[in-house]
């Protein structure tokens, strides 16, 4: 286990880097010579991805190093302190080629920040300039290039077998309590909760799922994205579509098949981290790296609220039982409760003093629970009883390390909250009494995702090493274990030869 990991942007980026290492470059990065050196070079397909990977970090609208901004074709051609860095038809006279091939101190990207561009990429840029440095037909010179690249992004085809285990960021039980849907790499995977058998794969545009919830009609809402690149909230029917086989498993197309991928509620510029459904099933909320809280009225599909209330990423969301209040957990070190009717913040709970990852509101609406980087599960007043709103009532317990997720099962007779953490355990609590019920162990890595079955009988934890464990709530016994990475075979443990 790696003790320095945390659930933050750095990790998202490290995670992305890992994914790139493990699975090969994402398509956008890979978008090198799409037509090979023969056909004409396309700016948007061939050149813009190179600029994005190597140059945008310093030449975006904020930093504008050398007064050069290249987020649009027009601005790239305007140049910075110098003239247009491109001389169409004449790559040898172009400042840009000069700079990326320079062996002196003026090289781009600067020497201290990275390697020079590979020769093939330089050759491609030179060819594009020699061909006239044209912008592709149909794209406005003022168009934001990141957006244009996002529109053109195509998820890579699914791997028949994973070479490395996937990090489980989200899982959810199906409404019949029989299956577990797990977020994979550009897919969702559906496993039998009893046997641990992989039953179905659903290809998705999103590289990762961060949060999932089933709607009353059996459709699945998934929030996710590609860290640092895009995010979305999409609705799927995972029981539709004509399955093909990938790696010997029936696989449906949640990217292009409109019977499987039903609707995109929102697309954002970075990952969406959380979704929550109101108890009556009519309102859906999402939140994430853009700090915005969005609430849709599902029957009409209309967005009802776009709320900016947190100063940093929102990791967790939960509706109060009345469906009119929404609790949030944020990297800004607070949990908050938002009143959807009054459109104002009701309370701020500041006691974690570090990133808050998840929240819940008890079935009677009176108490809030939250957990986070400070390793504690805390309970607080969610109503104005005795003017104590937002005051901590109890430290319910601790994982000893960061607590990543919290889910609840609001059975009035037997309310449960399950939390999962960096200590490799899932813990069950009585959220009202604020007492510990059980500690479920067996995971050997950080448990990032946790879910309770709709009937309250099963709880599942999904770990960084791909492992999913399902336990029975009643006796804490393990029901099944599987690695949620299709076709993955763990390397045999090679024992060191015994010393004689």
Chain residues binding ligand HEC by CB under 6 A are 54-55, 57-59, 65-66, 68, 79-82, 85, 95-96, 99-100, 108-110, 113, 117
Task: Pick between residue 81 and residue 300 the one whose CB is nearest to ligand HEC.
Answer: 81
- Smallest gap from Cβ 282 to ligand HEC, in A, equals 47
Task: Pick between residue 119 and residue 500 the one whose CB is nearest to ligand HEC.
Answer: 119
- Smallest gap from Cβ 186 to ligand HEC, in A, equals 28
State the CB neighbour count (10 A cutoff) for residue 121: 19
- Smallest gap from Cβ 108 to ligand HEC, in A, equals 3
- Smallest gap from Cβ 120 to ligand HEC, in A, equals 14
Task: Pick between residue 109 and residue 390 the one whose CB is nearest to ligand HEC.
Answer: 109
Task: Pick between residue 79 and residue 372 the one whose CB is nearest to ligand HEC.
Answer: 79
Which residues 6+ apart lie within 8 Å of 237 measured at CB?
A: 218, 219, 220, 259, 260, 262
State the CB neighbour count (10 A cutoff) for residue 457: 15
420, 448 Cβ separation under 8 angstroms: yes
- 29: its two tokens: 């990065």
Q: Is 362 exposed, middle or buried (0-12, 13-18, 19+ CB in 10 A)?
A: buried
- Smallest gap from Cβ 299 to ligand HEC, in A, equals 48
- Smallest gap from Cβ 53 to ligand HEC, in A, equals 8
- Smallest gap from Cβ 37 to ligand HEC, in A, equals 19
Of 100, 124, 114, residue with least CA distance to 48: 124
230: left (phi over 0), alpha (psi -120 to 50) or beta: beta
Of 399, 419, 421, residue with least CA distance to 407: 419
Which residues 6+ apart lie within 8 Å of 358 measured at CB?
A: 315, 316, 318, 329, 370, 371, 372, 403, 404, 405, 406, 419
Task: Pick between residue 56 and residue 488 the one whose CB is nearest to ligand HEC.
Answer: 56
Give the whole-angstrom CA distance, residue 67 versus residue 323.
Answer: 49
Point out which residues pair with 167 in neighbouring strands: none
In what helix (H) or strand (E) does residue 130 lie, and over which residues does it extend? helix 119-130
Give the whole-angstrom CA distance, residue 152 versus residue 42.
Answer: 13
Task: Pick between residue 99 and residue 437 the one whose CB is nearest to ligand HEC.
Answer: 99
- Smallest gap from Cβ 181 to ligand HEC, in A, equals 40
- Smallest gap from Cβ 12 to ligand HEC, in A, equals 20
Give the whole-angstrom CA distance, residue 203 versus residue 7.
Answer: 25
Task: Pick between residue 19 and residue 76 the one whose CB is nearest to ligand HEC.
Answer: 76
Report DSSP letters for 186-221, one per residue: SEEEEEETTT--EEEEEE-SSSEEEEEEE-TTS-EE
Task: Pick between residue 94 and residue 480 the one whose CB is nearest to ligand HEC.
Answer: 94
- Smallest gap from Cβ 74 to ligand HEC, in A, equals 15
Distances (CA, A) of 218 to 106, 213, 284: 58, 10, 14
Task: Pick between residue 51 and residue 417 the one whose CB is nearest to ligand HEC.
Answer: 51
- 498: its two tokens: 């015994």
Task: Pick between residue 15 and residue 109 the one whose CB is nearest to ligand HEC.
Answer: 109
């Amino acid at each position: 286990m790696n003790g320095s990991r945390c659930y933050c942007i750095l990790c998202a980026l490290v995670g992305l880097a890992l994914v790139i290492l493990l699975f090969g470059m994402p398509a956008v990065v890979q978008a090198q010579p799409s037509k090979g050196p023969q056909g004409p070079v396309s700016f948007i397909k061939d050149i813009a991805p190179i600029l994005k990977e190597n140059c945008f970090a310093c030449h975006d609208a904020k930093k504008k190093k050398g007064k050069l901004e290249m987020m649009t074709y027009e601005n790239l051609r305007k140049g910075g302190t110098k003239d247009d860095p491109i001389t169409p038809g004449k790559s040898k006279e172009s400042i840009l080629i000069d700079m990326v091939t320079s062996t002196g101190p003026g090289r781009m990207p600067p020497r201290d920040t990275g390697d020079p561009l590979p020769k093939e990429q330089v050759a491609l840029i030179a060819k594009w300039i020699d061909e006239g440095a044209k912008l592709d037909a149909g794209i406005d010179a003022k168009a934001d290039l990141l957006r244009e690249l996002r529109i053109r992004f195509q998820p890579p085809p699914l791997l028949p077998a994973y070479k490395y285990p996937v990090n489980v960021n989200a899982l959810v039980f199906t409404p019949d309590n029989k299956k577990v849907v797990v977020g994979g790499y550009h897919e969702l995977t559906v496993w039998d909760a009893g046997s641990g058998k992989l039953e179905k794969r659903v290809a998705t545009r999103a590289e990762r799922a961060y949060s999932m919830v089933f709607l009353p009609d059996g459709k699945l809402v998934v929030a996710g994205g590609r860290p640092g690149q895009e995010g979305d909230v999409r609705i799927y029917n995972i029981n539709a579509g004509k399955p093909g086989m990938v790696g010997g498993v029936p696989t449906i197309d949640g990217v292009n098949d409109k019977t499987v991928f039903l609707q995109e509620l929102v697309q954002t510029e970075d990952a969406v981290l959380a979704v929550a459904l109101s108890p009556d099933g009519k309102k859906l909320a999402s939140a994430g790296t853009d700090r915005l809280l969005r609430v849709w009225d599902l029957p009409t599909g209309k967005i009802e609220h776009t709320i900016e209330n947190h100063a940093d990423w929102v990791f967790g969301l939960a509706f109060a039982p009345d469906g009119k209040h929404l609790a949030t957990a944020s990297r800004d070190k607070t949990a908050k409760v938002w009143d959807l009717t009054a459109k104002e913040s009701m309370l701020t709970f500041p006691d974690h003093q570090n990133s808050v990852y998840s929240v819940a509101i008890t079935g009677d609406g009176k108490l809030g629970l939250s957990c986070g980087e400070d390793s504690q599960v805390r309970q607080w007043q969610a109503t104005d009883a005795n003017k104590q709103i937002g005051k901590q009532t109890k430290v319910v317990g601790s994982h000893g390390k960061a607590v990543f997720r919290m889910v609840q099962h609001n059975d009035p007779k037997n309310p449960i909250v399950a939390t999962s953490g960096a200590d490799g355990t899932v813990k069950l609590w009585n959220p009202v009494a604020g007492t510990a019920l059980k500690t479920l162990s067996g995971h050997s890595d950080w448990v990032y995702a946790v879910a309770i079955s709709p009937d309250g009988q099963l709880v599942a934890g999904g770990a960084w090493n791909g492992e999913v464990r399902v336990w029975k709530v009643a006796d804490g016994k393990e029901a099944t274990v599987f690695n949620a990475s299709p076709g993955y075979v763990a390397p045999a443990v090679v024992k060191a030869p015994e010393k004689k």
